[in-house]
Amino acid sequence: MEILAGDWWASGSLWQFIITIIAGIAVGVLGAWATFRSNNPKHRINWWVKSNTPLISLPQFSAGSGPLTVNLGPDQLSQPRIVELVIANQGRRDITADMFHASEPIRFDLGHEVKAILEVANVPVGSLRPDLATGRQVTLASPGSVRGWLDVKPSLLRRGQVVTVTLLVDGDERKVKCERFPLINVTPVEGPPGARKRAFAEAFTTAALSVGPLRIMR
């Protein structure tokens, strides 16, 4: 079958096909860009628990002289645990102390009393260590039970700075929660930054697939 010159140009279905393709590409690109921007705001703090493990793996072990115990000063710990909490500035700007509303700290609820801050690792080397403090409160609902927390006081957190805080707590495993986040115009994200990058990659792939395969006009 012969196609007269100009027939393809005047075909309404061809123009509709072209407009559909352009619109699909535009929607895909804009959607991917919006996802990228939402995943990479100017100010963002990622936080996550790197590990939460018992200090003694055999709590029922007993030797000839009696059960194995752990003491911190005069206090005997019944279920000592090591919790590694990571706080990272993954945004595109530094976070300054004046961004903490009313000078309130970021508070992480550990579920149990924090017995000690064992170590604070700072990357990159030379970054200022944030001001940290611990607190405790006896819970009225369960007499004798104590909940504890870690406070990150108003501090400078440089872009790309990663702070790993190693804590000693006494009790069974509890989920660590960000109880208070008073920073202004800063997005809190629970989880390491790699998870957000994977989400962006998946969103971009979905946007590309939404265009669908190109049909060949004959």
Domains of the chain by start residue, with CATH: 13-42+191-213 (no CATH), 44-184 (2.60.40)
The pLDDT confidence band at residue 214, using thresholds 50, 70 and 90, is very low
Give the rounded percent of residues in the chain with a pLDDT score beyond 90.
51
SS3 11: coil
The lowest-confidence range among 159-168, 172-181, 209-218 is 209-218
Q: Provide the sign of the torsion angle of the four alpha carbons 70, 73, 76, 79, taken in this order.
A: negative
Residue 27 has pLDDT above 70, yes or no: no
Tell me the pTM.
Answer: 0.69
DSSP string, 119-148: EEEEESTTPPPPPEEEEEEE-SSSTT-EEE
Residue 192 has pLDDT above 70, yes or no: yes
Cβ neighbour number for residue 24 with a 10 Å cutoff: 15
Query: Helices then strands (H, E): number in the chain?
Result: 3, 13
Region of residue 144 (phi > 0: left; psi between -120 and 50: alpha; otherwise: beta): left
CA distance 198 to 47: 17
pLDDT at position 32, please?
A: 54
Type of residue found at 128: L
SS3 185: coil
Average pLDDT (107-117) is 96
C-alpha 131 chain-centroid distance: 20
pLDDT at position 68, please?
A: 72
Average pLDDT (18-43) is 62
Sheet of 177-180, strand order: 132-138, 146-152, 106-109, 177-180
Q: 112 or 59, which is more confident? A: 112
Q: 37 or 12, which is more confident? A: 12
Element of type H or E holding 194: helix 193-211
